[in-house]
């Protein structure tokens, strides 16, 4: 299988190394110092005591690679709008595109089946340009339960998990989804078909919605949040609001708030993604993780005062990353 990983950073490096190890033809789209290192030294992947180096084609220009069977988009969400139109050379008639991204995806209402079927999420795709840039029939939904980090340019360190949930936007059990899951499992991932990928998106999102902006604003590790009753109360309130919004769109979260918090406590002293982005002065995934939930709450007529407050704060903080 020909696989292109667009955004060959932390999760992209994990995906690329797995497929390369299994013998697939893998291409990487990256930029800057990371790209320079990938070209010069290859992709170094570290997991536990294992250290591997993969010599793979890498470029900042997708048009150099031609059509692929599968394209994984592993970008931070603020980078997607600029990159998506550039992916056309990678996509043939039967190419599968897998956005392995955080938060609510821009394609959320494609074949969703409700009254908003086919509509864009305004804060993610205000003019519908993402739908026009990539025909959504190519998309397979994906939720990632794995963690990795770019330790230095060209070097990706795997820190936890290998679970990938894959599902069709129309909830069908398609042959193409089954083939991808089989290929990923053969490549050492823990992949499975999701009966309703949107439910899985919400299960992850209610955790990101509540923990990420709090961690970023407070510069708090996970154990700092869990050791502070005021911060934990804030997380709990935002999570409760997120679950109500999810349920309004047909996604009933199968765990309670306290059970979801118990899952988060397993991350112990981790520094989660938005906290890392704040420290590294990288664009924050505010719209996908927080703004989209606030938007859907308004559409459904659900009051989310704590989510709205944290959204206002983190959105303003994102404007001042140079401070």
φ, ψ of residue 298 in degrees (nearest 5): -65, -40
SS3 268: coil
Pick the CATH number of 199-318 from 1.10.1040.10, 3.30.300.30, 3.40.190.10, 1.10.10.10: 1.10.1040.10
The half-sphere exposure of 143 on its side-chain side, counting CA atoms within 13 A, is: 23
Which residues in the chain are classed under CATH 1.10.1040.10? Answer: 199-318
The half-sphere exposure of 37 on its side-chain side, counting CA atoms within 13 A, is: 17
Q: Name every residue whose Cβ is closer than 8 Å to that of residue 220 and which is 6 or more positions away in sequence.
A: 214, 228, 231, 275
Taking Cα atoms as reference points, which of 212, 204, 209 lies closest to residue 307?
209
Residue 265: predicted pLDDT: 87
Decide if 265 is catalytic: no
Cβ distance 297 to 246 under 8 Å? Answer: no
Which of 2, 41, 173, 204 is the catalytic position? 204
Domain 2-195 CATH assignment equals 1.25.60.10: no
Which residues in the chain are classed under CATH 3.40.50.720? Answer: 2-195
Residue 270: predicted pLDDT: 80
Predicted TM-score (pTM) of this structure: 0.95
- pLDDT truncated to tens, each residue of the chain (323 aa)? 999 999 999 999 999 999 999 999 999 999 999 999 999 999 999 999 999 999 999 999 999 999 999 999 999 999 999 999 999 999 999 999 999 999 999 999 999 999 999 999 999 999 889 999 999 999 999 999 998 889 999 999 998 889 999 999 999 999 999 999 999 999 999 999 999 999 999 999 999 999 999 999 999 999 999 999 999 999 999 999 999 999 999 999 999 999 999 988 888 778 888 998 999 899 999 999 999 999 999 999 999 999 999 999 999 999 998 76
Coarse DSSP helix, strand, coil percentages of the chain, rounded to the nearest 5 percent:
45, 20, 30
């Amino acid at each position: 299988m020909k696989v292109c990983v667009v955004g060959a950073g932390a999760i992209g490096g994990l995906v690329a190394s797995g497929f390369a190890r299994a013998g697939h033809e893998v291409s990487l789209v990256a930029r800057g110092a990371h790209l320079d290192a990938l070209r010069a030294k290859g992709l170094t992947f570290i997991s536990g005591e294992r250290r591997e180096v993969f010599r793979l084609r890498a470029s900042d220009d997708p048009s150099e690679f031609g059509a692929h069977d599968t394209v994984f988009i592993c970008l931070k969400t603020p980078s997607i709008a600029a990159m998506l139109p550039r992916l056309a050379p990678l996509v043939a008639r039967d190419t599968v595109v897998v956005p392995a991204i955080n938060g609510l995806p821009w394609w959320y209402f494609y074949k969703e089946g409700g009254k908003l079927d086919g509509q864009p999420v305004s804060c993610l795709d205000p003019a519908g340009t993402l739908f026009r840039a990539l025909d959504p029939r190519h998309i397979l939904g994906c939720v990632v339960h794995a963690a990795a980090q770019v330790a230095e340019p060209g070097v990706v360190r795997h820190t936890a998990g290998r679970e990938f949930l894959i599902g069709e936007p129309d909830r069908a059990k398609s042959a193409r989804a089954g083939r991808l899951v089989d290929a990923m499992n053969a490549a050492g991932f823990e992949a499975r078909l999701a009966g309703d990928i949107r439910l899985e998106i919400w299960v992850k999102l209610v955790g990101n919605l509540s923990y990420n902006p709090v961690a970023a604003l407070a510069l708090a590790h996970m154990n700092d949040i869990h050791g502070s009753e005021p911060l934990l109360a804030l997380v709990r309130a935002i999570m409760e609001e997120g679950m109500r919004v999810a349920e309004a769109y047909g996604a009933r979260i199968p765990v309670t708030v306290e059970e979801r918090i118990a899952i988060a406590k397993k991350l112990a002293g981790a520094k989660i993604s938005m906290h890392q982005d704040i420290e590294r002065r990288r664009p924050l995934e505010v719209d996908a993780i927080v703004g989209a939930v606030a938007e859907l709450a308004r559409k459904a007529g659900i009051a989310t005062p704590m989510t709205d407050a944290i959204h206002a704060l983190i959105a303003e903080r994102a404007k001042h990353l140079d401070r």
